[in-house]
Amino acid sequence: MQTNRAAALNPLWLPPPGGLSTRPGPSLPLSAGCSPRQARPAGPEPARRAALLAESSPGRRQRDGDGAPEPTQQRSSWAQRLLGFEWADVSSWPRFVCLLNRPTDPASLGVFRFLFGLLMALDIPQERGLSYLDHKYLDGLEVCRFPLVNFLEPLPLDWMYLLYAVMLLGALGIMLGCCYRLSCLLFMLPYWYVFLLDKTAWNNHSYLYGLLGFQLTLMDANRYWSIDGLRDPRKRNAHVPLWNYTVLRMQIFIVYFIAGIKKLDADWVEGYSMGSLSRHWLFDPFKLVLSEEMTNLLVVHGGGLVLDLTAGYLLFFDATRPAALVFVSYFHCMNSQLFSIGMFSYTMLATSPLFCSPDWPRRLGARFPACLRRLLPSLEPPQPSEACVYGGPERKGRGRGERGPGLRQKLGALFTVLYVLEQFFLPYSHFITQGYNNWTNGLYGYSWDMMVHSRSHQHVKITYRDGATGELGYLNPGVFTQSRRWKDHADMLKQYATCLSHLLLNYNVSQPEIYFDVWVSINDRFQQRLFDPQVDIVRAEWSPFRHTPWLKPLLVDLSPWRTKLQDIESSLDNQTEVVFIADFPGLHLENFVSEDLGNTSLQLLKGEVVVEIVKEQRNYTLQEGDRMQLPPGEYHKVHTVSPEPSCYMYVYVNTTDVALERNLTELQELRDKVQNGSETEPLPPELQPILDGALGDTTQPDPVVQAFVRRQQQLEELQRRRNATLGARLQRFAARKCFLFRRSFLMTWISLRNLVLGRPSLEQLAREVAYANMQPEAGVAGTEGVQKEPERAEL
């Protein structure tokens, strides 16, 4: 009777999961929804076990918090079973606030906090660049940078090391749950500063790290497995509001789902986005039953599309979650081997358990032997928390420990709604920031269009003109910069041109005008111009909110040609190369045919062009299907004179490479004959290195012999690595990572010492840096000892 009376007074009240109670309000809440477990009498120990096992995940029948069933209700509604809450829970704002603030087990959130902090601590020396920070932000370095806003400048080098040290301490504090809010701020603020400082380093997963750091700052993720919990009993093993899980789950759902929506692009569906990926050894099992072309179309593109579209939904529901966990885990493990994406694959693996029952760490810990449980986090049910709502919005007389939704709970619910809406809107907000749109929409990094577009650059020319004298000159592409991404984005090109105009003043170039001729192929299309080569970019107009007028359109009408281009390319022999070009009416391509390229011809596929041989001062008109030989060692210009874009192709053979390959083959045959005894004549001294692999003291070794020895050494090293044992591979991997972290620590220590005690002499600094650059062993030197970073390779 007391139970029925309490239920009648408060429709959101439910008995505690261990049995009936005469006091209104639950003693231990269920997990992530609104419906209670049907009350059954039970003893104290069964009640405790039932409370432990009652924590549930999204889509489970039993959920956290209070529900509103009738006391005699035997079965939950379909909405409760499918979604985890009743429609009544979202029928009004107060009920919705109660739903999002229902008490939830903090165990899964605490484990994710630990893993995220650990992965970020590992990421900072690697992808964030702490290990090569001095190469990127060296004081006095003449380099063009690409911040989001032009007034954003890097700090002096020693202060940048201090900033990274603070960010690293914040990541470690997040991992340990020590001074949690402060640690989140120490990580998040430097992270976003570094992120906004360099647009060329933007990518989707770096953006995701910043979002997760921001979300954790507002959450109570230190309520489980944290140092804060050891110091403060109120935070130790305490409930967290349901919205803490909701925001994280929705974020990961958006990452998957929007990425799937973006893959509905025709280029991805037709298999052009990642055309060469199926050649990787990871896809060899699929190629046992499928051709490489079908593996590319069905597995790489089709499988990626289906997984991204469905992963979020499959992870949500209990029935499909086990299969989803298997597929997404396999997917991310493959990505970790296919791409250099740092900690992204492991971060996504760490987010997958968030969709499971929030108490899964307790259930897992309960399976360990009793002697090991003392080393694990608490297995006891969580205690009540002031951050949660115990009871419905209509409850007037509340029992002890029960609170109605206050300002904190309302702000948490409001943040959840606004944040999720913003994350759904931002990937499609490019109609606002039109200045960042090029052939693809927006800056790469917040649209979740992962791997949808692949680019290749055939030709880049930078021309400057002295505004006072009219003198023309040329710059090496990429001069005064550490990145290549400026070639694909109008906003970065504008920043680059402005920076070059300032730097050229130091080289006696007055009022410089700068013109860019950038040829790009996207997803196996023709090579074509991205920007108007006749526009001075220094004085060109650009606004983040208006379309860029000097951006040339992508010739999508020529996309059907890709099948024919592939057929032409496959019909050529291994020694013949081809480049496909499309150009706009009224423009011309100036090109130089190297003397190494014999038998170079130009064939017109569409439109009409005039080929001008500069040295001969003669013009040749080509109609569709015409072909002509181009003289080597001379410049020529191809003028498009037809009213529509012209399409043509260069076909050439690198005669120097062919001759070198023929000579190397002859040396290989000679070496084999000597080794098997079929060649009895002694080798001349200049050919002796092909046997012992050492050039010796030869003052002027033959260039062909030198190339042969180097190639043999590379092949032997590659074969040695392929045949290396698992232990040797792990040792080499550990040596590389050890070098990264060792150099990061030593260079940070040097900079902090400089800030505190001042900089020592240049000789001492040189010795200290040389010590930091010491490789652990000779076999790890060179490119293996540092992060595989595109910017690093260009320094």
Judged by DSSP in three states, 522 sits in strand
Active-site residue, selected from the candidate residues 199, 263, 487, 552: 263
Q: How many helices (H) and strands (E) does the chain have?
A: 27, 14
Task: Give the Cα separation of 70 and 90 in Å (integer).
Answer: 18
Q: Is 564 a catalytic residue?
A: no
Amino acid at 23: R
- Enter the tokens of residue 409: 């709970």
Helix (H) or strand (E) holding 29: none
Task: Give the Cα separation of 764 and 562 in Å (integer).
Answer: 59
DSSP 120-169: HHHHTTTTT-GGGHHHHS-TT-------SSTT--PPPHHHHHHHHHHHHH
Q: Which value, to the nearest 10 degrees, does the dihedral of the CA atoms of residues 384, 387, 392, 397 take?
A: 70
Rg (CA), the chain: 32
Task: Give the Cα separation of 686 and 700 in Å (integer).
Answer: 9
Our CA angle for 477, 483, 489, nearest 5°, is 80
Cβ atoms within 10 Å, residue 44: 9
CA 12, 15, 21, 25 torsion: positive or negative? negative
> Residue 76's closest CA among 37, 50, 40?
37
> Residue 529's closest CA among 548, 547, 554, 565?
554
DSSP 434-493: GGG-SSSSS-TTSS--TT---EEEEEEEEEEE-TTT--EEEE-TTTT-S-SGGGG-HHHH
> Residue 392's closest CA among 58, 18, 92, 76?
92
Scored b (16 or more CB within 10 A) or e, 492-512 reads: bbbbbbbbbbebbeeeebeeb
Judged by DSSP in three states, 592 sits in strand
**Measured between alpha carbons, how far is residue 14 from residues 5, 64, 389 in Å?**
12, 11, 13
Helix (H) or strand (E) holding 568: helix 561-570
Tell me which residues are annotated as active site. Answer: 263
